[in-house]
Amino acid sequence: MIVMGVNMKIVEVNVQEMYNMSEEAYQSFLDKIDESLNPRSHEMLYDKFSNLMDNPEINVLDAGCRDARHLIELAERHSGSYKGIDIVEMNIKEANQAINEKNLEERIDVRLGDLMSMPYEKESFDLIWCRDVLGHMDDLKGTFDEFYRVLKPGGKAMIFLVTSTELLTDDEADFLCKPLATYKENIDPRIFEEAFKAAGFKCIEKDIVASEWREFAEETGRNISSKQLMRIAKLTRNKEAYIKEFGETLYAVELSNCYYGVYQMFGKLCPIVYTIEK
């Protein structure tokens, strides 16, 4: 089994082999593992996107903008015009509030809408930013067709997606995806890549992030995965009490969300940044 370039060969070890190592030698091994591999943080996305912004009058679309935090960051870093679209009304309300607080109303416009039928003219944008959204789309190919329509010739889309690996079983995929309103087919990298190619895009970069962001968070004290692991333990051990107080839906969403994070450390899920071009 090959997962992210790592051979997951099963090695059979007997008791003598397992314990035939001095404490000093074992500790040396652990010390080596504990050395940082210098993981990148989520800030790499902004830097990567900046490398695509070669026009001061560039038009950028955030497809699935949520509360506009990414649009605001990009607008503060660069000139140009920024638009965002999201299907959740609360997200648009929060986005407009954040944009107003930053006095960016003249440069950022967000609106309620569906990525499958966006209210923009053909060939309106130079770049599309899309972070952790396309797993939710019930018609992945149709979404890429719409991206293709609104992008100018030569336009690019940078897409962050947490994909499944061969370590993730079908049952685990269902357990994760259904409470998180995600289609497990969409996070299969083979299906995902076939969909954007069928829409006419070519991939110009595939950056496998794997567990880097998660490692960075642990090494810098945010401890996101550690907290989620602890929450899994508590949610599992105190299940009935949490469901009684907060309801089954919230319980299922949070439990799946925690596994979604921890599985990135286990290698069952693998974040990837795709840059595709029209």
The number of folded domains in the chain is: 1
pTM: 0.94
Residues 84-101: what's their mean pLDDT? 98
Instruction: With respect to residue 39, please indicate whether it lies within any of the assigned structural domains.
Output: no
**What is d(CA 195, CA 191) in angstroms, rounded to the nearest whole number?**
6
pLDDT for residue 17 is more than 90: no
Q: Using pLDDT thresholds of 50, 70 and 90, give the confidence band for residue 10.
A: confident
- Which strands form 59-63's sheet, in the order they lie side by side? 108-112, 81-86, 59-63, 125-131, 151-164, 269-277, 202-208
Domain that holds residue 75: 44-212+267-277
10 vs 5: CA distance, rounded Å: 15
Sequence-distant (≥ 6) Cβ neighbours of residue 235 within 8 angstroms: 242, 251, 254, 255, 258
pLDDT the model gives residue 7: 52
Residue 196 lies in a domain: yes
Q: 132 in a domain, yes or no?
A: yes
> Among residues 84, 57, 235, 236, which one has the least CA distance to residue 152?
57
Residue 53 phi, psi (nearest 5) = -90, 85
Whether residue 181 is contained in a domain is answered as: yes
pLDDT at 56: 86
Per the domain annotation, does 104 fall within a domain? yes
Tens digit of each residue's pLDDT (9 = 90 or more) over 192-246: 999 999 999 999 999 999 999 999 999 999 999 999 999 999 999 999 999 999 9
Percent of the chain with pLDDT over 70: 97
Q: Whole-angstrom Cα distance, residue 69 to residue 101?
A: 12
Q: Per residue in 155-179, pLDDT tens?
A: 999 999 999 999 999 999 999 999 9
pLDDT tens sequence across 38-56? 999 999 999 999 999 988 8
CATH at residue 120:
3.40.50.150
What pLDDT is recorded for position 278? Answer: 98
| pLDDT reading at 23 higher than 70 | yes
Would strands 2-3 and 6-7 be described as parallel, antiparallel, or unpaired? Answer: antiparallel
